[in-house]
Amino acid sequence: MAPLLLPHRAKLAAMTQKLYTSTQQLLFSPRLIIRSFPESLVTMTSKDPNLDAIFDKKRAVRSKVRKELKGMSPTQRAEQDAAIQKIILESSWYKASDRLCAYISCNALREVDTSEILSDILCHHQKDGRAHIRKKLYVPRVEDKNSYMRMLYISSTEDLVANSMSILEPSVVDPDGNQRENVMEANDPVDLLLLPGLAFDRAGRRLGRGGGYYDTFLKKYQELSLERKWKQPLLVALSYNLQILDDGLIPVTPSDVLVDALVSPTGVIPISPAAIERM
């Protein structure tokens, strides 16, 4: 990695198509759209035994994948982290993205590391004549336990603070006391979203941790993009090899959002027509 990126990386580390189309149609059928609540709340209030069975299966899959992630050695994780980030950083679709949303990886959660990617975004400049245009980065801040999460603009790792669970998040205000820009209020569209998760499949299904934060945010941002006639951002999930499951093992509900592509240590898996076209 270039020397310019090392301070950012060190600080982050220290601070811590048929199948796709048919599934997409199912998830976005007007008759099936429901508000994205956390699964625990939906389970408590739902009287639909089929929905309860889906949530039970999701919990079982989560438990299995968590156990397998714990079995990965630090060396295995480091090797796969490096491979995934190298693939992304060298890709044309990443290089062409000016505005991105990305998660800040948490080692305790055994998420795919994003420190090199975040360092590159925060240090990267593109030449446009005499001007230098920095890639713009928005990162998640969880606001409450009702699936409400905002993506806020940061320009440095100094903008990050640890929350009550020791997960790094952007502070609410910048050093000048101004409210940070919320991506939902930005004037320009996001090109790329880099997403975490516990498990995925090659049809684009994503299994999160059950809070509903990303699915709720993604639905709102997709609706905003439609309203403003923007191109939909590319939804790309980062995955260790063992997190990619066989089709049919990840159950879905109407509140789940499919991803466009996966990046694993072995390469990019484009899924949606948009990903096949752009990747």
The H or E element containing residue 186 is none
Mean pLDDT for 223-234 is: 98
Q: Which residue has the higher pLDDT, 128 or 216?
A: 216
Confidence check: pLDDT of 2 > 60: no
Q: Mapping DSSP to helix (H, G, I), strand (E, B) and coil, where does residue 143 land? A: coil
Mean pLDDT for 240-251 is: 96
**Going by C-beta distance under 8 Å and a sequence separation of 6 or more, which residues neighbour residue 144?**
none
Give the per-residue pLDDT at 273.
97
Give the per-residue pLDDT at 256.
95
Mean pLDDT for 8-21 is: 49
Confidence check: pLDDT of 25 > 90: no
Mean pLDDT for 16-29 is: 41
Confidence check: pLDDT of 34 > 80: no
Phi-psi region of 110 (alpha: psi -120 to 50; beta: other; left: phi over 0): left
Of 190, 179, 185, the closest CA to residue 137 belongs to 190
Q: Name the percent of the chain lying above pLDDT 90.
A: 72
Of 229, 177, 226, 205, the closest CA to residue 22 belongs to 205
pLDDT digits (tens, 9 = 90+) for 35-55: 233 444 343 344 567 888 999
Average pLDDT, the chain: 85
Q: Which residue has the higher pLDDT, 108 or 23?
A: 108
Model confidence, pTM: 0.82
Instruction: Detail the DSSP E strand segments found in 143-205.
Output: 149-154, 160-162, 168-170, 192-195, 199-201
Q: Name the percent of the chain lying above pLDDT 70.
A: 79
Mean pLDDT for 11-21 is: 48
Give the per-residue pLDDT at 165.
81
Give the per-residue pLDDT at 39.
47
CATH architecture of 50-277: 3-Layer(aba) Sandwich (3.40)
